[in-house]
Structure 1
Amino acid sequence: MPHRSNNPAEQFNAVEGLLTSWLKERRAVLARYTALVVAIDDAPASAQLARRQRELCELLVDYISAGHFEVFAELLNEAEVFGDNSDALVAGLMPDITDTTDVILAYEEKYGRGEHYPETLRRDLSALGELLESRFVLEDRLIAGLHNQHRRQLQAPAQAG
Protein backbone atom coordinates (compact mmCIF):
# COMPACT_ATOMS: atom_id res chain seq x y z
CA MET A 1 0.00 0.00 0.00
CA PRO A 2 1.56 3.29 -1.07
CA HIS A 3 2.45 5.71 1.66
CA ARG A 4 3.13 9.33 0.97
CA SER A 5 4.16 11.80 3.60
CA ASN A 6 5.95 15.11 3.32
CA ASN A 7 7.59 14.38 6.66
CA PRO A 8 10.94 12.64 6.05
CA ALA A 9 10.82 10.66 9.30
CA GLU A 10 7.29 9.39 8.62
CA GLN A 11 8.15 8.40 5.06
CA PHE A 12 11.35 6.71 6.27
CA ASN A 13 9.44 4.70 8.90
CA ALA A 14 6.83 3.59 6.36
CA VAL A 15 9.56 2.40 4.01
CA GLU A 16 11.42 0.73 6.88
CA GLY A 17 8.38 -1.44 7.62
CA LEU A 18 7.88 -2.24 3.96
CA LEU A 19 11.54 -3.22 3.56
CA THR A 20 11.46 -5.45 6.64
CA SER A 21 8.50 -7.37 5.24
CA TRP A 22 9.94 -7.55 1.74
CA LEU A 23 13.32 -8.80 2.91
CA LYS A 24 11.55 -11.57 4.86
CA GLU A 25 9.90 -12.49 1.59
CA ARG A 26 13.36 -12.57 -0.01
CA ARG A 27 14.50 -15.08 2.61
CA ALA A 28 11.43 -17.21 1.82
CA VAL A 29 12.36 -17.16 -1.88
CA LEU A 30 15.89 -18.28 -1.03
CA ALA A 31 14.63 -21.02 1.27
CA ARG A 32 12.22 -22.30 -1.38
CA TYR A 33 14.91 -22.14 -4.05
CA THR A 34 17.37 -24.04 -1.85
CA ALA A 35 14.76 -26.67 -0.96
CA LEU A 36 14.08 -27.24 -4.65
CA VAL A 37 17.77 -27.57 -5.51
CA VAL A 38 18.25 -30.08 -2.67
CA ALA A 39 15.09 -31.98 -3.64
CA ILE A 40 16.32 -32.52 -7.19
CA ASP A 41 19.24 -34.51 -5.84
CA ASP A 42 16.73 -36.82 -4.13
CA ALA A 43 15.02 -37.46 -7.50
CA PRO A 44 11.47 -36.61 -6.36
CA ALA A 45 8.38 -37.78 -8.17
CA SER A 46 7.31 -35.60 -11.07
CA ALA A 47 4.21 -34.35 -9.24
CA GLN A 48 6.22 -33.36 -6.17
CA LEU A 49 8.80 -31.57 -8.31
CA ALA A 50 6.05 -29.76 -10.21
CA ARG A 51 4.47 -28.62 -6.93
CA ARG A 52 7.82 -27.32 -5.64
CA GLN A 53 8.41 -25.49 -8.92
CA ARG A 54 4.96 -23.84 -8.77
CA GLU A 55 5.55 -22.76 -5.16
CA LEU A 56 8.92 -21.25 -6.03
CA CYS A 57 7.50 -19.47 -9.06
CA GLU A 58 4.61 -18.03 -7.05
CA LEU A 59 7.00 -16.66 -4.44
CA LEU A 60 9.30 -15.26 -7.12
CA VAL A 61 6.48 -13.42 -8.85
CA ASP A 62 5.15 -12.06 -5.55
CA TYR A 63 8.63 -10.92 -4.57
CA ILE A 64 9.49 -9.15 -7.81
CA SER A 65 6.01 -7.62 -8.05
CA ALA A 66 6.28 -6.21 -4.53
CA GLY A 67 9.71 -4.89 -5.41
CA HIS A 68 8.63 -3.08 -8.54
CA PHE A 69 5.19 -1.89 -7.54
CA GLU A 70 5.73 -1.14 -3.86
CA VAL A 71 9.28 -1.14 -2.56
CA PHE A 72 11.06 0.68 -5.36
CA ALA A 73 8.23 3.19 -5.73
CA GLU A 74 8.32 3.93 -2.01
CA LEU A 75 12.10 4.25 -2.01
CA LEU A 76 11.77 6.83 -4.78
CA ASN A 77 9.04 8.64 -2.83
CA GLU A 78 11.36 8.66 0.15
CA ALA A 79 14.19 10.13 -1.93
CA GLU A 80 11.84 12.90 -3.11
CA VAL A 81 10.75 13.69 0.45
CA PHE A 82 14.36 13.87 1.59
CA GLY A 83 15.10 16.06 -1.42
CA ASP A 84 18.29 14.28 -2.32
CA ASN A 85 19.59 13.91 -5.82
CA SER A 86 19.53 10.15 -6.22
CA ASP A 87 18.54 10.11 -9.89
CA ALA A 88 21.95 8.85 -11.00
CA LEU A 89 21.86 5.95 -8.55
CA VAL A 90 18.36 4.95 -9.59
CA ALA A 91 19.14 5.37 -13.30
CA GLY A 92 22.22 3.20 -12.89
CA LEU A 93 20.54 0.35 -11.02
CA MET A 94 16.94 0.10 -12.18
CA PRO A 95 17.65 -1.03 -15.77
CA ASP A 96 19.76 -3.91 -14.44
CA ILE A 97 17.10 -4.82 -11.89
CA THR A 98 14.48 -4.74 -14.64
CA ASP A 99 16.63 -7.04 -16.79
CA THR A 100 16.68 -9.61 -13.98
CA THR A 101 12.90 -9.31 -13.72
CA ASP A 102 12.52 -10.24 -17.37
CA VAL A 103 14.63 -13.39 -16.91
CA ILE A 104 12.77 -14.39 -13.73
CA LEU A 105 9.43 -14.00 -15.52
CA ALA A 106 10.72 -16.17 -18.37
CA TYR A 107 11.69 -18.83 -15.82
CA GLU A 108 8.24 -18.55 -14.24
CA GLU A 109 6.56 -18.87 -17.62
CA LYS A 110 8.51 -22.04 -18.36
CA TYR A 111 8.15 -23.73 -14.95
CA GLY A 112 5.29 -21.95 -13.16
CA ARG A 113 2.55 -24.24 -14.36
CA GLY A 114 4.43 -27.27 -13.12
CA GLU A 115 5.80 -28.45 -16.44
CA HIS A 116 8.78 -30.72 -16.08
CA TYR A 117 11.84 -30.22 -18.25
CA PRO A 118 14.37 -32.68 -16.81
CA GLU A 119 16.92 -31.96 -19.53
CA THR A 120 17.14 -28.25 -18.64
CA LEU A 121 15.98 -27.99 -15.03
CA ARG A 122 19.38 -28.16 -13.31
CA ARG A 123 20.89 -25.68 -15.74
CA ASP A 124 17.91 -23.33 -15.45
CA LEU A 125 17.95 -23.52 -11.64
CA SER A 126 21.66 -22.79 -11.58
CA ALA A 127 21.18 -19.79 -13.85
CA LEU A 128 18.26 -18.64 -11.70
CA GLY A 129 20.39 -18.86 -8.57
CA GLU A 130 23.12 -16.73 -10.13
CA LEU A 131 20.54 -14.24 -11.35
CA LEU A 132 18.91 -13.98 -7.93
CA GLU A 133 22.29 -13.35 -6.34
CA SER A 134 22.96 -10.57 -8.84
CA ARG A 135 19.50 -9.07 -8.31
CA PHE A 136 19.85 -9.11 -4.53
CA VAL A 137 23.17 -7.27 -4.79
CA LEU A 138 21.54 -4.62 -7.00
CA GLU A 139 18.58 -4.29 -4.64
CA ASP A 140 20.91 -3.98 -1.66
CA ARG A 141 22.86 -1.25 -3.42
CA LEU A 142 19.61 0.62 -4.09
CA ILE A 143 18.52 0.25 -0.46
CA ALA A 144 21.95 1.31 0.83
CA GLY A 145 22.13 4.27 -1.52
CA LEU A 146 18.68 5.56 -0.66
CA HIS A 147 17.19 4.23 2.56
CA ASN A 148 20.36 3.69 4.57
CA GLN A 149 21.61 7.12 3.52
CA HIS A 150 18.35 8.60 4.81
CA ARG A 151 18.74 6.67 8.07
CA ARG A 152 22.09 8.39 8.59
CA GLN A 153 20.52 11.77 7.84
CA LEU A 154 17.80 11.18 10.41
CA GLN A 155 20.28 9.97 13.02
CA ALA A 156 22.75 12.83 12.48
CA PRO A 157 20.62 15.52 14.22
CA ALA A 158 19.94 13.18 17.15
CA GLN A 159 23.62 12.43 17.57
CA ALA A 160 24.58 16.12 17.34
CA GLY A 161 22.15 17.05 20.13
Structure 2
Amino acid sequence: MPQRNHNPAEQFHAVESLLTNWLSERRAVLARYTALVVASDDLPGSASITQRQRQLCELLVDYVSVGHFEVYNELLHEAEAFGDDGSALATKLIGDIADTTDVILAYEQKYGSGDQYPETLIRDLSALGELLESRFVLEDRLIAGLHSNHRRQMQEAPEGTG
Protein backbone atom coordinates (compact mmCIF):
# COMPACT_ATOMS: atom_id res chain seq x y z
CA MET A 1 0.00 0.00 0.00
CA PRO A 2 1.43 3.42 -0.90
CA GLN A 3 2.46 5.74 1.89
CA ARG A 4 0.00 8.58 2.26
CA ASN A 5 1.75 11.65 1.00
CA HIS A 6 0.71 15.28 1.00
CA ASN A 7 3.01 16.00 -1.93
CA PRO A 8 0.72 15.73 -4.97
CA ALA A 9 3.43 14.50 -7.34
CA GLU A 10 4.65 11.79 -4.97
CA GLN A 11 1.08 10.68 -4.19
CA PHE A 12 0.29 10.61 -7.91
CA HIS A 13 3.28 8.37 -8.67
CA ALA A 14 2.47 6.03 -5.77
CA VAL A 15 -1.12 5.68 -7.00
CA GLU A 16 0.09 5.23 -10.58
CA SER A 17 2.14 2.24 -9.50
CA LEU A 18 -0.72 0.80 -7.45
CA LEU A 19 -3.12 1.19 -10.40
CA THR A 20 -0.69 -0.45 -12.80
CA ASN A 21 -0.49 -3.55 -10.61
CA TRP A 22 -4.21 -3.61 -9.90
CA LEU A 23 -5.22 -3.27 -13.54
CA SER A 24 -2.82 -6.08 -14.37
CA GLU A 25 -4.68 -8.17 -11.80
CA ARG A 26 -7.93 -7.16 -13.51
CA ARG A 27 -6.61 -8.51 -16.81
CA ALA A 28 -5.75 -11.78 -15.03
CA VAL A 29 -9.33 -12.00 -13.70
CA LEU A 30 -10.66 -11.44 -17.20
CA ALA A 31 -8.34 -14.05 -18.71
CA ARG A 32 -9.27 -16.59 -16.02
CA TYR A 33 -12.97 -15.84 -16.49
CA THR A 34 -12.71 -16.23 -20.27
CA ALA A 35 -10.84 -19.52 -19.98
CA LEU A 36 -13.50 -20.82 -17.60
CA VAL A 37 -16.34 -19.82 -19.93
CA VAL A 38 -14.67 -21.56 -22.87
CA ALA A 39 -13.93 -24.70 -20.83
CA SER A 40 -17.44 -24.83 -19.35
CA ASP A 41 -18.91 -25.10 -22.85
CA ASP A 42 -16.99 -28.31 -23.43
CA LEU A 43 -16.58 -29.90 -20.00
CA PRO A 44 -19.39 -28.87 -17.63
CA GLY A 45 -19.06 -30.55 -14.24
CA SER A 46 -15.48 -31.73 -14.78
CA ALA A 47 -12.61 -31.56 -12.30
CA SER A 48 -10.92 -29.09 -14.64
CA ILE A 49 -13.88 -26.73 -14.30
CA THR A 50 -13.82 -27.07 -10.51
CA GLN A 51 -10.12 -26.15 -10.42
CA ARG A 52 -10.66 -23.19 -12.78
CA GLN A 53 -13.56 -22.01 -10.62
CA ARG A 54 -11.37 -22.02 -7.51
CA GLN A 55 -8.64 -20.10 -9.29
CA LEU A 56 -11.10 -17.53 -10.62
CA CYS A 57 -12.70 -17.12 -7.20
CA GLU A 58 -9.31 -16.55 -5.55
CA LEU A 59 -8.40 -13.90 -8.11
CA LEU A 60 -11.80 -12.24 -7.80
CA VAL A 61 -11.55 -11.94 -4.03
CA ASP A 62 -7.98 -10.58 -4.25
CA TYR A 63 -8.98 -8.09 -6.94
CA VAL A 64 -12.05 -6.86 -5.07
CA SER A 65 -10.12 -6.59 -1.79
CA VAL A 66 -7.29 -4.54 -3.25
CA GLY A 67 -9.85 -2.24 -4.86
CA HIS A 68 -11.80 -1.63 -1.68
CA PHE A 69 -8.99 -1.55 0.84
CA GLU A 70 -6.25 0.12 -1.19
CA VAL A 71 -7.06 1.59 -4.59
CA TYR A 72 -10.21 3.56 -3.80
CA ASN A 73 -8.73 5.00 -0.60
CA GLU A 74 -5.51 5.98 -2.32
CA LEU A 75 -7.42 7.68 -5.13
CA LEU A 76 -9.26 9.73 -2.50
CA HIS A 77 -5.97 10.59 -0.76
CA GLU A 78 -4.58 11.65 -4.12
CA ALA A 79 -7.55 13.99 -4.64
CA GLU A 80 -6.89 15.47 -1.19
CA ALA A 81 -3.18 15.94 -1.99
CA PHE A 82 -4.12 17.76 -5.20
CA GLY A 83 -6.62 19.87 -3.28
CA ASP A 84 -9.56 19.03 -5.48
CA ASP A 85 -12.91 17.64 -4.53
CA GLY A 86 -13.39 14.27 -6.13
CA SER A 87 -15.22 13.04 -3.06
CA ALA A 88 -18.76 13.46 -4.45
CA LEU A 89 -17.93 11.49 -7.60
CA ALA A 90 -15.94 8.94 -5.62
CA THR A 91 -18.68 8.43 -3.03
CA LYS A 92 -21.28 7.77 -5.74
CA LEU A 93 -19.08 5.45 -7.80
CA ILE A 94 -17.63 3.57 -4.84
CA GLY A 95 -21.16 2.96 -3.58
CA ASP A 96 -22.19 1.59 -6.96
CA ILE A 97 -19.05 -0.57 -7.10
CA ALA A 98 -19.77 -1.89 -3.59
CA ASP A 99 -23.14 -3.13 -4.82
CA THR A 100 -21.33 -5.41 -7.27
CA THR A 101 -19.05 -6.71 -4.53
CA ASP A 102 -21.89 -8.47 -2.73
CA VAL A 103 -22.77 -10.40 -5.89
CA ILE A 104 -19.13 -11.31 -6.55
CA LEU A 105 -18.72 -12.57 -2.99
CA ALA A 106 -21.92 -14.62 -3.29
CA TYR A 107 -20.53 -16.16 -6.48
CA GLU A 108 -17.26 -16.93 -4.68
CA GLN A 109 -19.13 -18.47 -1.77
CA LYS A 110 -21.09 -20.73 -4.11
CA TYR A 111 -18.25 -21.84 -6.38
CA GLY A 112 -15.02 -21.14 -4.48
CA SER A 113 -15.34 -24.21 -2.27
CA GLY A 114 -15.18 -26.57 -5.23
CA ASP A 115 -18.84 -27.54 -5.09
CA GLN A 116 -20.26 -28.15 -8.55
CA TYR A 117 -23.52 -26.72 -9.78
CA PRO A 118 -23.52 -27.71 -13.47
CA GLU A 119 -27.21 -26.87 -13.82
CA THR A 120 -26.59 -23.19 -12.93
CA LEU A 121 -22.96 -22.71 -13.95
CA ILE A 122 -23.56 -21.24 -17.41
CA ARG A 123 -26.24 -18.85 -16.13
CA ASP A 124 -24.08 -17.80 -13.18
CA LEU A 125 -21.01 -17.27 -15.38
CA SER A 126 -23.05 -15.13 -17.75
CA ALA A 127 -24.39 -13.02 -14.89
CA LEU A 128 -20.88 -12.70 -13.45
CA GLY A 129 -19.53 -11.54 -16.82
CA GLU A 130 -22.17 -8.83 -17.08
CA LEU A 131 -21.51 -7.76 -13.51
CA LEU A 132 -17.74 -7.60 -14.05
CA GLU A 133 -18.27 -5.50 -17.16
CA SER A 134 -20.40 -2.98 -15.26
CA ARG A 135 -17.94 -2.95 -12.35
CA PHE A 136 -14.99 -2.31 -14.66
CA VAL A 137 -16.86 0.59 -16.27
CA LEU A 138 -17.53 2.12 -12.85
CA GLU A 139 -13.90 1.64 -11.80
CA ASP A 140 -12.69 3.20 -15.03
CA ARG A 141 -14.96 6.21 -14.43
CA LEU A 142 -13.53 6.53 -10.92
CA ILE A 143 -9.96 6.40 -12.23
CA ALA A 144 -10.76 8.85 -15.04
CA GLY A 145 -12.55 11.23 -12.70
CA LEU A 146 -9.73 11.35 -10.21
CA HIS A 147 -6.38 10.00 -11.37
CA SER A 148 -6.58 10.91 -15.06
CA ASN A 149 -7.37 14.53 -14.17
CA HIS A 150 -4.29 14.58 -11.99
CA ARG A 151 -2.22 13.08 -14.80
CA ARG A 152 -3.15 16.06 -16.98
CA GLN A 153 -2.19 18.42 -14.17
CA MET A 154 1.16 16.67 -13.80
CA GLN A 155 1.82 16.92 -17.54
CA GLU A 156 0.91 20.61 -17.57
CA ALA A 157 3.01 21.43 -14.50
CA PRO A 158 6.13 23.52 -15.16
CA GLU A 159 9.37 21.50 -15.28
CA GLY A 160 10.67 20.67 -11.79
CA THR A 161 7.34 21.03 -9.98
CA GLY A 162 5.85 17.61 -10.83
TM-score (norm 1): 0.95
Q: Return the letter of the residue paired with 2:16.
A: E
- Give me the whole-angstrom Cα distance separating, in 1, the residues matched to 2:88 and 2:4: 22
Match of 2:118, SS state, is: coil
Q: Return the letter of the residue paired with 1:126.
A: S
* Mean CA deviation greater in 38-47 or 125-134: 38-47
* CA deviation string 1:24-45 (max 9, x = no partner): 0000000000000000112156
Show structure 1 runs of 5+ residues with no match: none
**Would you say how many aligned residue pairs link Structure 1 and Structure 2?**
160
- Give me the whole-angstrom Cα distance separating, in 2, the residues matched to 1:36 and 1:139: 23
Q: CA deviation at 1:134?
A: 0.2
Equivalent residue, structure 2, for 1:84: 84
Match of 2:158, SS state, is: helix
Q: Return the letter of the residue paired with 2:130.
A: E
* CA deviation string 1:130-151 (max 9, x = no partner): 0000000000000000000011
- Give me the whole-angstrom Cα distance separating, in 1, the residues matched to 2:44 and 2:102: 29
Q: Return the letter of the residue paired with 1:50.
A: T
| Contact residue 33 and residue 56 of structure 2 kept, 8 A | yes
Match of 2:75, SS state, is: helix
**In angstroms, what is the RMSD of aligned CA positions?**
1.4
Matched, 1:12 2:49: no
Q: Return the letter of the residue paired with 2:66.
A: A
Show structure 2 runs of 5+ residues with no match: none
Equivalent residue, structure 1, for 2:98: 98
- Give me the whole-angstrom Cα distance separating, in 1, the residues matched to 2:28 and 2:82: 31
* CA deviation string 1:1-27 (max 9, x = no partner): 242111100000000000000000000
Alignment of 1:132-143 (within 5 A): 132-143=132-143
Q: Return the letter of the residue paired with 1:102.
A: D
Task: Report percent identity of matched pairs.
Answer: 74
Runs of 4+ in 1 over 4 A off after TM superposition: none
Matched, 1:66 2:103: no
Q: Return the letter of the residue paired with 1:66.
A: V
| Contact residue 22 and residue 66 of structure 1 kept, 8 A | yes
